[in-house]
């Protein structure tokens, strides 16, 4: 979270599968959630209440939010709850898994291998293929499309 604050938004791959939702009718605009969020993903905006023009409510920036849930526990009015993200985020198991997943998400899997001499070794390629073979079918299809490898296609077809 400190890294997220210092170096800007992380790629969505680093988030949990949840997002906080603000219950507008009960949010008092107290700002507690704003001050506890480690990445500055919540701000106060106008509650659009014609009877109380100065009233504010919390708003979550879904692109920045890490889904950590800290704001949910900090809200004393039970105005925040966690819902599942529409697209499920796969949490990386280790650094090889993380690097391959990030490359697939960014459409740069082929560049990852072509641009890195170190990744052309048998062991590195075996690690990459090992990661791809354990991914869900949709990620495998993306990887296969990016690598355009008949060998990988045959492996995935088994
Ligand atoms: S802590 Fe709860 S009540 Fe206060 S601004 Fe955030 S969501 Fe609204
Ligand atoms: S879940 Fe709440 S505290 Fe955590 S990053 Fe998202 S908005 Fe901030």
Question: Nearest C-alpha to atom 8 of ligand 1 is from which residue?
Answer: 27
Nearest Cα residue to 80 out of 89, 72, 70 = 72
> Looking at residue 71, what is its pLDDT?
95
Q: For residue 40, which ligand has an atom nearest its CA?
A: 2
| pLDDT by 10s per residue, the chain, length 158 | 555 555 444 444 457 889 999 999 999 999 999 999 987 889 999 999 899 999 999 999 987 888 889 999 999 999 999 999 887 666 666 667 777 888 888 888 887 777 666 555 666 777 788 888 888 888 888 888 888 877 777 777 77
Give phi and psi for 125, each to the nearest 5. Answer: -65, -40
Residue ranges, comma separated, of all CATH 3.30.70.20 domains in the chain are 2-84
Question: How far does residue 60's CA lie from ligand 2's centre (Å)?
Answer: 8
Question: Nearest C-alpha to atom 4 of ligand 1 is from which residue?
Answer: 30
Query: Tokens at residue 147, please?
Result: 């690598």
Question: How far does residue 72's CA lie from ligand 1's centre (Å)?
Answer: 9
First to last CA, the chain: 40
Nearest Cα residue to 8 out of 54, 66, 55 = 66
User: Which residues are within 8 A (CB) of 158 and not within 5 positions of it... i.e. 6 or more apart?
Assistant: none
- Residue of 12, 58, 67 to test ligand 2 pocket, by largest number of atoms within 8 Å of CB: 67
Pocket of ligand 2 (CB under 6 A): 20, 37, 39, 41-42, 60, 65-71
Q: Tell me which fold the domain 2-84 belongs to.
A: Alpha-Beta Plaits (3.30.70)
Nearest Cα residue to 157 out of 129, 135, 137 = 137
> Looking at residue 42, what is its pLDDT?
95
- Cβ atoms of residues 84 and 21 within 8 Å: no
């Amino acid at each position: 979270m400190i890294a997220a604050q210092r170096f800007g938004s992380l790629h969505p791959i680093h988030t949990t599968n949840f997002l906080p939702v603000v219950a507008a009718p009960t949010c008092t605009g107290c700002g507690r959630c704003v001050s506890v969020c480690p990445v500055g993903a919540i701000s106060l905006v106008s509650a659009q209440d014609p009877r109380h023009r100065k009233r504010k409510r919390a708003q979550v920036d879904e692109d920045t939010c890490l889904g950590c849930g800290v704001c949910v526990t900090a809200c004393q009015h039970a105005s925040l709850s966690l819902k599942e993200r529409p697209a499920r985020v796969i949490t990386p198991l280790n650094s090889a898994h993380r690097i391959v997943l990030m490359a697939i998400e960014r459409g740069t899997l082929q560049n990852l291998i072509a641009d890195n001499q170190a990744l052309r070794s048998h062991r590195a390629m075996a690690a990459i293929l090992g990661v791809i073979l354990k991914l869900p079918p949709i990620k495998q299809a993306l990887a296969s499309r990016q690598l355009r490898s008949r060998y990988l296609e045959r492996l995935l077809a088994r």
